[in-house]
């Protein structure tokens, strides 16, 4: 499947050569930023050269100021209809978007390095990665608290998550919850951003989310940059380590709710806690430096809670205790209840980092069982394992990494 999702050729974009795995040929024909990082990890178990190729292609989208768009439109003309029908695309350039996605790429490079020991590849790919992390710190942390902000829901990759409803002014309206309202609301954001520079957009405060999942991935990426820089003798490993610690400290100081035993995203300049329970609230578990007592509460009180996340096929994108929880995809939109494999992949490694090996193994086992039932789909019903959304969905192949981790001990 990863091979058949592969797209290659020469683009009208400056005649650049592209060669990457698209998320789904029928649903998502372009190169997406966090998808490609996940694809690179899955590809490691097929052919490490394809992993490197995936990220080399992605990095061709790196701009000299550090910015990287969340979609690279290599074959733009072939998919014009797709672009015209998509309501949430904001372009910075004919061939890439003005939107970002979580910086999973550093973790992917670290995984490639662990498996291949290829220092030359790390040296080649570090500079554009570092420039992107620096761009995030410079442009997306206007209050300089160590937490970066997203300025539209798609930037977390969690597009229609109900945790954004309040900030997007979307009323709860089942069963078609969000799609039409989201389109309107997105237009409101885009109108506000029109004409403003990338630097000025976060300052407008029309949608400014310090998202816990995004910041956990950011802190994890900074740690990966530190380790990679140290391994190849590149400059400034300590700077990345300090920045990672600062983000974790800020998550603890601002997002941790000691009464509830979980983390909340912060909305707007006022940093209002967005109290909608989604898997995001558990995500700092992916950070090995997270305090062990905090990790334990996340796991014991929430991940393993059968009323919230520990369903037959965990981990649902929205807790079963939320009114917006839509496990069977009635809303026909994303991130409103079904289980996604990339979430399970991150949490699997987080559980292992904190010594919950048995729970990690059980999560891996149920993830693979879910796919045996539901196929390789975009997301799954957490009760029945029925697959929904895109078919032949690339990052669902992350289960290859889980299987390899489980079988190699
Ligand atoms: C959907 C997902 C997003 C992903 C994209 C391509 O929009 O919500 O996270 O990157 O599809 O797979």
23 lines ligand 1 (CB under 6 A): yes
Mean pLDDT is lowest, of 139-153, 176-190, 276-290, 300-314, for 176-190
Q: Best of 21, 23, 58, 389 to mutate for ligand 1, by most ligand atoms within 8 A of CB?
A: 23
Is there an atom of ligand 1 within 6 Å of 32 CB?
A: yes
Mean pLDDT for the chain? Answer: 96
| 242 Cα: distance to centroid of ligand 1 (angstroms) | 31
pLDDT at 181: 83
Q: Using a 6 Å cutoff on CB, does residue 28 contact ligand 1?
A: yes
- Output the pLDDT for position 176: 67
Considering only 78-87, 176-185, 303-312, 325-334, which range has the smallest mean pLDDT? 176-185
Q: Is 389 in the pocket of ligand 1 (CB under 6 A)?
A: no
What is the band of 175 on the pLDDT scale with cuts at 50, 70, 90?
low
Phi, psi of 144 (to 5 degrees): 50, 45
Atom of ligand 1 nearest to the CA of 70: 10
Tell me: the pLDDT tens digits for 356-385? 999 999 999 999 999 999 999 999 999 999
- pLDDT score for 172: 82
CA of 73 to the centre of ligand 1 (A): 14
Per-residue pLDDT, 177? 67
Tell me what pLDDT residue 85 has.
Answer: 84
- For the Cβ of 241 lying below 6 angstroms from any atom of ligand 1, the answer is no
- Looking at residues 151-167, what average pLDDT do you find? 96
Domains, in order of start, for the chain: 6-289 (1.50.10.10)
262 CA from centroid of ligand 1 (Å): 25
Taking CA atoms only, the protein residue closest to ligand 1 atom 2 is 157
pTM of the shown model: 0.98
Is the CB of 159 inside a 6 Å radius of any atom of ligand 1? yes
- For residue 334, the ligand 1 atom closest to its alpha carbon is 8
Query: How high is the pLDDT of residue 305?
Result: 98
Q: What is the pLDDT of residues 90-123, one digit of tens each?
A: 999 999 999 999 999 999 999 999 999 999 999 9
Question: pLDDT class for 84, splitting at 50, 70, 90?
Answer: confident
Closest CA to 210 of 251, 165, 160, 258: 251
With bands split at pLDDT 50, 70 and 90, how would you rate the model's confidence at 71? Answer: very high
Contact 374, 396 (CB under 8 A): no
What pLDDT, on the 0 to 100 scale, is given for residue 330?
92
Residue 180's pLDDT is what? 79
At residue 408, the pLDDT reads 87
Q: Nearest to residue 225, comparing CAs of 344, 101, 43, 217?
A: 217
> Which atom of ligand 1 lies nearest, measured to the CA of 24?
12
Cis check: omega of the bond before 175, within 30 degrees of 0: yes
Distance of CA 119 to the CA centre of its chain: 26
Q: Over pLDDT 70: what percentage of the chain? A: 99
Mutate which of 30, 32, 69, 214 to test ligand 1's pocket (most atoms within 8 Å of Cβ)? 32
Q: Is the pLDDT of residue 409 over 90?
A: no
């Amino acid at each position: 499947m990863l091979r058949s999702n592969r797209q290659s050729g020469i683009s009208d974009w400056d005649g650049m050569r592209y060669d990457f795995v698209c998320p789904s040929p029928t649903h998502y024909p372009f190169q997406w930023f966090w998808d490609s990082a996940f694809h690179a990890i899955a590809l490691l178990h097929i052919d490490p050269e394809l992993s490197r190729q995936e990220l080399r292609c992605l990095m061709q989208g790196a701009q000299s100021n550090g910015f990287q768009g969340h979609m690279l439109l290599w074959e733009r003309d072939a998919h014009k209809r797709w672009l015209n029908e998509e309501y949430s695309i904001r372009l910075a350039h004919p061939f890439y978007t003005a939107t970002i996605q979580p910086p999973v790429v550093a973790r992917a490079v670290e995984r490639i390095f662990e498996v291949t020991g290829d220092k030359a590849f790390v040296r080649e790919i570090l500079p554009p990665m570092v420039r992107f992390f620096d761009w995030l710190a410079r442009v997306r942390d206007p209050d300089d608290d160590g937490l970066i902000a997203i300025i539209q829901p798609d930037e977390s990759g969690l597009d229609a998550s109900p945790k954004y409803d309040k900030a997007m002014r979307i009323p709860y309206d089942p069963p078609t919850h969000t799609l039409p309202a989201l389109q309107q609301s997105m237009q409101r954001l885009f109108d506000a951003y029109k004409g403003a520079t990338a630097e000025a957009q976060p300052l407008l405060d029309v949608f400014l989310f310090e998202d816990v999942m995004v910041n956990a991935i950011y802190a994890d990426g900074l740690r990966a940059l530190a380790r990679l820089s140290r391994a190849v003798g590149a400059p400034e490993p300590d700077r990345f380590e300090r920045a990672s610690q600062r983000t974790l400290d800020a998550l603890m100081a601002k997002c941790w709710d000691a009464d509830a035993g979980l983390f909340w995203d912060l909305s707007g300049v006022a940093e209002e806690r967005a109290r909608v329970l989604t898997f995001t609230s558990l995500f700092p578990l992916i950070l090995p430096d997270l305090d062990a007592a905090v990790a334990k509460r996340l796991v014991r009180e929430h991940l393993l809670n059968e009323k919230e996340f520990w369903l037959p096929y965990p981990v649902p994108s929205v807790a079963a205790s939320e009114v917006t929880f839509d496990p069977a995809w009635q809303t026909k939109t994303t991130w409103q209840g079904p289980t996604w494999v990339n979430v399970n992949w991150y949490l699997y490694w987080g559980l292992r980092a904190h010594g919950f090996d048995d729970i990690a193994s059980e999560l891996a086992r149920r993830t693979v069982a879910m796919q045996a039932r539901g196929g390789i789909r975009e997301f799954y019903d957490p009760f029945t394992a029925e697959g929904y959304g895109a078919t032949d969905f690339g990052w669902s192949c992350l289960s290859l990494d889980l299987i390899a981790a489980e079988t190699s001990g």
